[in-house]
Amino acid sequence: MLSIETLAAELRAVVGDACVITDPSELAAASADLFPFPAPPPAALLVQPGSTEQTAAVVKAAMRADFPVVARGAGLSYTRGLATTSPAVVIDGARLNQIDIHADDLFAVVGAGVSWQSLAEALAPHGLRSLLGGPISGAVTTVGGAASQYVPGSMEGVIGLKVVLADGSVATTGSGARAGALPFHRHAGPDLTGLFVGDCGAFGVKTELVLRLVRDQPAAFASFAYTDVTALLADMLELRAASLATRAMAIDQSRGEAAGKVEAAEALRTVGAVVSASGSALDAIRGVASMVRGRAELAQAQWSLHLTAEAPTEEIARQMIALAKDRCMRSAREIEPTVPTALRARPYSIRGFVGIDGERWVPVHGMVAPSRAQAALNDLQALFDRYESEMTRVGVRHSYLMSAPGPFVTIEPMFFWVDALDALHLKHLSARNRERFAGRPPNHDARQLVARLRAEVRDCFERHDAVHAQAGRFYRHAERLDAGSRALLARLKDSLDAEHRMNPGVLGLG
């Protein structure tokens, strides 16, 4: 193994002095995510290449020096996707930030380090958006991170990519793989794009993605309060199956209460976004009044369902919502559509990455088939009932988010507890909240309980055949495959990365 100093000097010659980071606190943060327990070893080096060619040179040098290589976006995941067991060369995508929009051909070529928010801002003047909406954390998280982890829903919106393989070679997928050809189509022979979507970086470092664009469409919204979660689940699934909602999301009361308590500055930003998305001054006033009323209603609803319908005209979108309302009103009461209106006006925010009082937060999720959703939810509830007194004793609470991003349900229980926050949290908090929440002592008992609960929730999902985004090193992937499928995955890994140095351990690939 080459010394770190020799490798660092070699990499400085490739990417420039400022782009090889050796500061110990940055190296510690580079391998951590939002639930870094137990703490992973710090990165060996943090490197910021500015092009595919530089990335290839960094990968080659790191491999020659016998270091594992890990690509990183914003580091805002929570399944140990960056946590190698020995120090790695971490490739940060911050300088892979170009956005090249082909409005007529409805695609954009985007650097892996571009955030969803920057992409949305670049596309807005064209009246376009990415077909793949990206995660809620897209205010800072990257296109490369989402494509590498998979976002619940369809990944059809990724139509090609450029990836640096372990030997330093560069492969292009989709129709752009023919030299100089337009990358406008994903399916051109075997779907090699799919091979790298959701690979957690085990097969290579993505440097560039080609994303399908669609026209922005008018939208209509509705929200409903339920007392019966069974009826809510049935309605949510039926509305998606009938294509009456393009987005359907449900939250429990505890999450609804938190939505009404956001920091004033944060609430103002959301109100500002709602006002600027309104068609007229009157719409804006109505929108703000509705948000104020809606916050109180959310806090009182045992469960609430939030629908968005997008369609070529506002009239059609409203008709879709009217039909959805006919169905929901059989078991629910209509409330102000605060949540879907705010989500549409401001789709990306990382406010939720700590609780309302600065608690640590970590979710677990499972995507289950409609026929399994109710049973999975019942089992989860039984699990939380069993742990109720222990959770109360160490100060851990939970709440639920559910959505139907396709013909399945994503159930996402999340945990909150008062604990020390990390540099990653402090970096993204407002100055006021940094002051309020920094310096708390570590709460080891709560961390241990959350770790145990997360594992039990994961096991519970597995019993209901759930699949997961963000496999990382937390959800079991290779381990759950049958022998033939596991062997295929292992052979792919062996042929792309013979020495298993590309983010070793993710997907259960050692």
Site map (CB under 6 A) of ligand FAD, residues 201-230, x = contact: x---xx------------------------
Largest separation between any pair of C-alpha atoms in the chain: 69
Site map (CB under 6 A) of ligand FAD, residues 113-152, x = contact: ----------------------xxx---xx-xxx-xx-xx
Calculate ∠ Cα 250-253-257, nearest 5°: 110
Among 50, 68, 87, 93, binds ligand FAD (CB under 6 A): 93
Q: How far is the CB of 390 from ligand FAD (least distance, A)?
A: 26
Cβ atoms of 84 and 503 closer than 8 Å: yes
Structure tokens at 297: 């209603």
CA terminus-to-terminus distance, the chain: 20
| Residue 157 found at the interface with ligand FAD (CB under 6 A) | no
Work out the number of other CB atoms within 10 angstroms of the CB of residue 278: 17
Among 60, 72, 186, 255, binds ligand FAD (CB under 6 A): 72
Q: How far is the CB of 466 from ligand FAD (least distance, A)?
A: 14
Side-chain half-sphere exposure of 19, counting CA atoms within 13 A? 21
> How is 281-342 classified by DSSP, letter by letter?
HHHHHHHHHHHHHHHHHHHH-SEEEEEEEE-SSHHHHHHHHHHHHHHHTTT-EEE--HHHHH
* Size, binding site for ligand FAD by CB under 6 A: 37
Site map (CB under 6 A) of ligand FAD, residues 24-63, x = contact: ---------x------------------------------
Smaller CB separation from ligand FAD, 77 or 433: 77
| Residue 469 found at the interface with ligand FAD (CB under 6 A) | yes
Distances from the Cα of 449 to the Cα of 39, 84, 298, 388, 443, angstroms: 16, 23, 29, 11, 10
Among 168, 218, 260, 352, binds ligand FAD (CB under 6 A): 352
Smaller CB separation from ligand FAD, 373 or 469: 469
Structure tokens at 122: 């670049």
| Residue 246 found at the interface with ligand FAD (CB under 6 A) | no
Which of 73-81, 219-227, 288-296, 325-333 is the region at the interface with ligand FAD (rule: CB under 6 A)? 73-81
**3-class SS of residue 492:** helix
Among 350, 377, 391, 450, binds ligand FAD (CB under 6 A): 350
Q: How far is the CB of 110 from ligand FAD (least distance, A)?
A: 11
Cβ atoms of 183 and 137 closer than 8 Å: no
Among 11, 30, 82, 229, binds ligand FAD (CB under 6 A): 82
| Residue 161 found at the interface with ligand FAD (CB under 6 A) | no
Place of tokens 């494509």: 147
Structure tokens at 443: 């709460």
Which residue's CB comes closest to ligand FAD? 73
Residues 6+ apart with CB under 8 A from 232: 226, 250, 303, 305, 331, 332
| Residue 467 found at the interface with ligand FAD (CB under 6 A) | no
Structure tokens at 272: 């500002």
| Residue 503 found at the interface with ligand FAD (CB under 6 A) | yes
What string of H, E and C letters represents the secondary structure of 151-197?
A: CCCCCCCEEEEEEECCCCCEEECCHHHCCCCCCCCCCCCCCHHHHHC
Residues of this chain that interact with ligand FAD (CB under 6 A) are 33, 70-77, 81-82, 93, 112, 135-137, 141-142, 144-146, 148-149, 151-152, 200-201, 205-206, 350, 352-353, 469-470, 472, 503, 506
